[in-house]
Amino acid sequence: MAAKERTGSRPGKALQSTEQSGRVIGSAIHAAISRGFVVGREVLVGKVPGIVVGYNIATFGKFIGNAYPLVIRTAMGVTKCSIDELQLV
């Protein structure tokens, strides 16, 4: 019996081109910057203080850049966050 050929995708998941993913992630990052979430800005993740240290450009995995465009450093470590999870200080 031959091995099953794997395409790297899950059933029901549409494949996006890298260029299309890049545009969506770029739009999410631009929206975050326009709302004031720039590198070095102090924020609150719930009640935990943190600092914006970068932007998430990941195109695969659990925390992709279009859903979680901000990388935040807190006393507990580094995390990826959406704009809705944060408040500006």
Rounded percentage of the chain residues whose pLDDT exceeds 90:
73
**Domains in the chain, number:** 1
Instruction: Tell me, yes or no, whether 52 lies in a domain.
Output: yes
- Predicted TM-score (pTM) of this structure: 0.77
Beta carbons of 76 and 59 less than 8 angstroms apart: no
Instruction: Tell me, yes or no, whether 81 lies in a domain.
Output: yes
- Nearest by Cα to 24 from 61, 79, 63, 69: 69
Domain range spanning residue 81?
A: 38-88
**Does position 4 have pLDDT exceeding 90, yes or no?**
no
Instruction: Tell me, yes or no, whether 71 lies in a domain.
Output: yes
Phi, psi of 73 (to 5 degrees): -105, 125
**Does position 63 have pLDDT exceeding 80, yes or no?**
yes
Position 23 confidence tier, pLDDT thresholds 50, 70, 90 = confident
Instruction: Tell me, yes or no, whether 54 lies in a domain.
Output: yes
Instruction: Tell me, yes or no, whether 83 lies in a domain.
Output: yes
Instruction: Tell me, yes or no, whether 5 lies in a domain.
Output: no
pLDDT at 3: 61
Q: Count CB neighbours of 47 within 10 A.
A: 6
Instruction: Tell me, yes or no, whether 26 lies in a domain.
Output: no
Mean pLDDT of 39-49: 97
Say how far apart CA 89 and CA 74 lie, in whole Å. Answer: 14
Say how far apart CA 50 and CA 41 lie, in whole Å. Answer: 9
